[in-house]
Amino acid sequence: MSIHKKLTVGLVLTPGMVAIASAAELSGIRNYIEYSPAFSSAGQPSLQQLNDLKAAGFERVIYIAFSNSRGAIADEDAVVKELGMDYVQVPVIWEAPTKSDFYAFAGAMQREPGRKTLLHCQANYRASAFSFLYRVLYEGVTVADAKASMNTIWQPNETWKNLIFSVLEDNNISADCEGCDWTVKE
């Protein structure tokens, strides 16, 4: 039995079948944000939501947490591939994210920048921080606009703020902008 038939509930996509997931179905994914028609981030989707992503035309899933994280889908890589989407994993340690982690993600995005992609972690904290950086560095989004999007999910803690500032500095971009509050909330 194929993986998607064994593990999913409800909608099962088979070759040649066309289905459309509504915005409401995708918005049910924890902390889902659509930045553009080709790029979104979120927390951990369920098995059904992976099917919904495929139905909505997503072509790639990038996961930036560990497969043994609480709430992770043990066989997410196999499920995503069975659904016909590309799967990339860049395991990022929550307490110690690195610039190399970010650039590994960015490199995967840059190989095929037009592919409709969901970037996710467990709660969309890591993913929204990487999305912020990617949008500013590679998509020309202003720091203020990218920060406003990230703030709908969280205000980065000291560790993640330091990573963001370091990557921006390496690219000669200031984190300062009108309306940008980088105060770490305890």
What does the domain layout of the chain look like in residue ranges? Answer: 20-170
Cβ atoms of 121 and 129 closer than 8 Å: no
In whole angstroms, how far apart are CA 73 and each of 36, 38, 63, 150, 160? 26, 24, 11, 25, 25
**What is the structure's pLDDT at 20?**
47
**What is the structure's pLDDT at 24?**
62
**What is the structure's pLDDT at 27?**
84
**What is the structure's pLDDT at 21?**
53
Higher pLDDT, 2 or 61: 61
**pLDDT cut 90: percent of the chain above it:** 83
CATH number attached to the domain at 20-170:
3.90.190.10
Beta-ladder partners of 40: 34, 118
Distance of CA 32 to the CA centre of its chain: 9
Going by pLDDT thresholds of 50, 70 and 90, the confidence category of residue 7 is very low
| Residue 138 CB neighbour total at 10 angstroms | 13
Q: CA–CA separation, 108 vs 164, rounded Å?
A: 19
What residues contact 98, with CB distance under 8 A and at least 6 apart? 92, 163
